[in-house]
Amino acid sequence: MNKKHLFNRRQTLLLGLGSIVSMSTLALGSTLKPQQASNHQKRNFAASGNLPLARRAAAKGLIYGAAVRKYALSSDAQLAARFTRECAMLVPEWELKWNFLRPKPNTFNFAPADWLAAFAQTHRMLFRGHTLVWHEPHALPEWFSIVNSQNARQILLEHIATVVGHYAGKIHSWDVVNEAISVKDGRSDGLRETPWLKFLGSDYIELAFRAAAKADPKALLVYNDYGLDYDTPEADAKRTAVLKLLKRLKSRGTPIHALGIQAHLSASETRFNPQKLQKFLSDVASLGLKILISELDVKDKELPVNINIRDRLVAATYEDYLSVVLDEPAVTAVITWGLSDRYTWISEFEARPDSLPVRPLPLDADINRKLAWNAIARAFDQAPKR
């Protein structure tokens, strides 16, 4: 299929998503009209064969993996079996964050993350690090309150040297800096007001990348952020600010190799503009950077109760998004933020108002493949080879 046809096909898919979603909005608290219900049922999510996601991705020169928590992988044999089958990359969802890794200023606890690294190695999966510099209080230890402008540089550099050094040569990539842009904070450079910015100034990002490169010259060094996906004024501003940051880092010779686009999507969001997203991806690629879809999942908070409808809308969101981003050859990996609905941050942070279990990931809470899995499989099967 040539590019033009592919594009037209995707436009049709996206129009389909728009109508499905507006229909689902109608369906909230009411019932679907028969005509709408039959349109909705028409979309085909059949995936050919039984091959796992990792194999389908690999056939296109892509990596597929997922984030996971050590307690889940070590205690849930069903999850572990599926994880090793579906994934070619493992990302600790919690265990490489400061609150887990550095319980005291001078104490590092690598045991949980090392367990995950060993699991990945045993099962021939790549291991990816998340994250070295993040402001989020949930992910920082209590002692972090001692950090000030006198000691911040030393504490940060020590952290990066110790942690990156620990996995040097054994890790695929590091999210060196996470979520450093927040346009609404009002600065002209778009940087988020964080303790790191306050204590170290705007060069803290470059400092962190240089320290990571020194500790592991082989790892792919990533800037990771969210809110880059949709056609909204906020996302426009964020894409502009992220691009500006990446350009600045590159122009200063900073060792940065990739952008991580988190892609926490929402199945009820219709403001999706493929051309805009593709332009952003190609602008990033033209800086010589790779792109990782680093935390993909699909929220179903505003969708109807009916699981069949919900699963179709979530699947449509996955396939429509991936079919657009995988057209960009610089995209080299797709990582879902979890594998099964049994373990997902969305059940805690983006729960449904009716308290029904959320269904944002490729496998359901019984660890079985669902339509979201088919959608990802289809997108990999249709992706151009890199």
Query: Active site includes 136?
Result: no
Among 99, 162, 282, 382, binds ligand G3I (CB under 6 A): 99
**Nearby residues of 29 by Cβ (< 8 Å), 6 or more positions away:** none
Q: Is 179 a catalytic residue?
A: yes
Q: Judged by CB under 6 A, which of 139, 177, 181, 361 binds ligand G3I?
A: 139
Give the whole-angstrom CA distance, residue 165 versus residue 169: 9
d(CA 34, CA 7): 30
Span interacting with ligand G3I, options 17-25, 117-125, 153-161, 345-353, rule CB under 6 A: 345-353
* Closest CB to ligand G3I among residues 32, 139: 139
Name the minimum Å distance from CB 93 to ligand G3I: 5
Task: Return the residue nearest ligand G3I (CB atom).
Answer: 345
What is the pattern of x (binds ligand G3I, CB under 6 A) and - over residues 188-227?
Answer: --------------------------------------x-
Between 234 and 288, CB nearer to ligand G3I = 234
Which three-class secondary structure state does DSSP give residue 74? helix
Regarding 268 and contact with ligand G3I (CB under 6 A), the answer is: no
- Token pair recorded at residue 34: 């028969």
Alpha-carbon distance of 360 to 337, in angstroms, equals: 9
**Active-site choice (179, 269, 319, 328):** 179
Q: How far is the CB of 286 from ligand G3I (least distance, A)?
A: 26
Pick the closer one to ligand G3I by CB: 27 or 113.
113
Least Å distance, CB 67 to ligand G3I, is 7
User: What residue ranges in the chain does DSSP mark as E strands?
Assistant: 63-68, 89-92, 126-133, 173-178, 220-225, 258-261, 264-266, 290-299, 331-336
Return the closest-CA partner of residue 93 out of 372, 348, 353: 348
Is-cis flag, bond preceding 31, omega within 30? no
Residue 295 binds ligand G3I (CB under 6 A)? yes
The answer to whether residues 179 and 260 touch, using CB atoms and an 8 Å cutoff, is no
| Residue from 138, 271, 279, 386 binding ligand G3I (CB under 6 A) | 138
- Active-site residues, by number, are 179, 295
